Amino acid sequence: MTAVASTSGQRWRVRDVVLLAPKIVLTGLLVLAIGDMVVGVFLRYVVVAITDRLDLDPINFFWVEEVGEYSLAWLTMIGAGIGIAERAHFTLHIVTHRLPLNRPAGDPCGNPCADRRVLGRSPSGTAFSWRS
């Protein structure tokens, strides 16, 4: 599910832009985290050495660690959301192959494979759904 307009001149839909927005934010957070790390290294090893050498007041760069932590935390959460939306997370097929794919009639849930994976990650779901 990519949000790229086709070459036939098709216009971007609002849905496509909404689906692309988290990826743009994720890219910005990644650039911010990398830039923050570079600035932190520069301030710690270059600017501190210069201020010590010239006997100047030290520069406070406590914010570098905070910006890095927050950007990496948001990067993880938004990236996990994108992974769920695109079904890009990996699954371990150790237990899930033993779970039933049969669904009761009239069950409104969608994909039985997704339910099978969720049950495979849940110990109680595995205990109640185990087939022999």
CA distance 108 to 117: 17
CA distance 120 to 95: 6
pLDDT tens digit sequence for 34-59:
999 999 999 999 999 999 999 999 88
Q: Which two tokens stand for residue 131?
A: 């087939």
Q: At 87, is the secondary structure helix, strand, or coil?
A: coil
CA distance 132 to 130: 7
Domain ranges within the chain, ordered by starting residue:
1-89, 90-132
More confident residue, 89 or 42: 42
Residue for token pair 């997370």: 89
Taking the model in full, what pTM does it have?
0.59
